Structure 1
Amino acid sequence: MRSDFGGKKRSLADNISKIHSFTRSHRQPSRLIVLLQTHADPSDGGLVYGSGKTLSLDLFLSTGLKGISLSNRTYFSNTVLFLNVCGGFLEHNSSAIDSAARSFGFRTIVALTGQSVDGLLASKSLFYTVLDHHVIGKETVLRALERSASIDLLSMTSVRVWTEGVSYILQGAALRTRPNGAVLHCGQCSQALVFKRTLSPSSALYRCRSGIPHPAGLSKSFVLPLVGNDDAVKVTGSLNFPCRYVIKVVNHDAPAPGLVEQVLPGPAPPRPPKQLKESKEDAMRRRMNAFNNRQVPLPTCSEQALPGSAPPRPLKRQHSVEKSEEDAMRQRMEAFNSRHVSAAGTMGGARAGSEMRQGWEDSEETKMAERWDAFRKHQDCRQV
């Protein structure tokens, strides 16, 4: 049933008589779907009809559904009201949906909160989806609401739903612009915030894009807590999700959630310490020191061969491990010697380093030689 109330009282009476005759002729309960599509006055939220005239939602419904009892489950098993209304209807009449549901007996009411709404897009994306999956497919209203969530719809408007005595709101929750359902703005300069990164599943870092410095002690970076799933909130989607949205339970006495969320500046979050890159010489020196400081276990009395006793038979795995250690030691000695030979060749016949560097190289070679002798003695002792 659709009418603009502009000289349509006779057609309204015909519609009402057709509804009465249809319900009387069918023994089984019917489903009544009402679509109210009009404009709303931005000043007071009244529904526009005719040439600039406005009425409240209750007067619209009482005139268009005169004499029809929607609460009678004998005639109607399900009654749904779609309000395809733009402007400030819900902004000025936050309790109009609850009042219409209690007064006329609608089981589900779907309305829009956007200031400027594309009626065709809202009908195709939202109303037809709810009609197809909820009214005909008998899915829950919230499930049909999730199916209708799309980037085109939620970037234009939010959706307010009243069903079974509870009010819900479906809001787009893109993590980069409005992670909790409302557009983020700086509480100091009212500039939009820029998403930087997620700190944890429950918080994200944002930064003010304004070029004006904040007062002393206040940072341009904001750590914003993200809403999570609980009994009153359902969040679907992540950073790379095509359409991230949130469904919240709305208090009956509370106004419709705003479109902008002001975030007050706070102290700057701690920055992670910067790690300096290690040079090749420092890395080689660190490896050499770790190699020289490594302790080599001396053979115990139980490992020494006693007179008149047969030496223990070494295991193959132990022999392979000792062989690999010996090869690794030999490769390190060759790499160490080749490094100093190449360093001396690039000096073009000059003296290879100062006395301090020469002393350090001699001490390193001495340590390597002592280490090699100790390693060989240990190997000979284990083979005895």
Structure 2
Amino acid sequence: MDIDFSPQDLEFQREVRAWFQANTPESLKRKVITGQMLQKDEIVQWQRKLDDRGWLVTGWPKEYGGPGWTPTQRYIFDLERAAANAPVGLSMGVIMLGPVLIAFGTPEQKAQYLPRIRRCEDWWCQGYSEPGAGSDLASLKTAAVSDGDDYVINGSKIWTTYAHWATHMFCLVRTANTGKKQEGISFLLIEMDRPGIEIRPIVSIDGEHHLNQVFFTDVRVPKRNLVGREGQGWDIAKYLLTHERTSIAGVADSKAHLANLRAAASERRSGGRPAIEDPALRLKIARAEIDLMALEYTNFRVLAATAAGKAPGPESSLLKTMGTAVQQTLSELDVELAAELAWPWHEQGEFGQGRFAHAMPRYCFSRAATIYGGSDEVQKNVLAKMLLAGGAH
């Protein structure tokens, strides 16, 4: 798909492309191509390298360290980053908490946390889901009871990504049980070394430990860690989720994934010829590309709205639904192309290790993509409400 960029944008694209080609370590490229999980030190080093260049917090306003790019430049940057097989490598502090603090935080909270997020001196995890409150997030029960200058926290959170690496958690807690259940939720910042916090690992189907369950037993948190007003947590959570769902769509990374898949299909031989010559496989790849083109056009509409000063709204739900479906399709094609090389007990050899060593784990974990960040069913409800309200264009 050809997109017309201005001469200034094309010059910017050349600058970004050259930087990623010169600065992306080969070890990280291999992990991105094969779908391996990056470790904390790799993410921290990569994040600091981007921050040194001024290219980490691309979505933040300039006064908080952002580069001051247009939405088109941010799109170009992400496109070139993914095309270079460079990792996203962004902590939840950069993607989710930073925009929330900029919008709702006190001057003291911004001064304390935003610079540390940029330098990855603090590592944040997200305390949203609970054993009885996932897609129905408003049913959360983790309680924060007022006690002088503190809240006392009791309850648990689950599916907490990188909690075992985290120094802090941004957390939804229940501060009231009257009125609508959404009205009793508050947004709290919690240091993970406070007494009464226990972290238990969850090893997912891909064999990796990136998920956890976190338990709170009489954990005291100062009230100065409250973001926004007490009871404003639901509105803040919705604001945060629009940023999360837009990033989950992963247009640039899916384009890079498709390019790597085509390259692998040209190298892989089936029946004495390159697999890419198989008509059935070519049709499947073409269908995935069409879906990805449609997703990219949807992304352009969100970019246009952002350029006009409109924050992402229900469109982020459409991006998330479409984007995760494309990701699952591509992971399925990885396994189909890998065939016997995808099985973990197979002696894969150099080619298998280079391309398909993690095809099956990536495929298995991608099943969760249509659940985390808000399930497909939740996203479709959001879109249905927009249509019923006359929000379709």
TM-score interval, normalised by the smaller of the two chains? under 0.3
Q: Which structure has the highest helix share of the two? A: 2
TM-score in terms of structure 1 length: 0.21
Higher relative contact order (CA 8 A, sep 6+): 2
TM-score in terms of structure 2 length: 0.21
Structure with max Cα Rg: 1
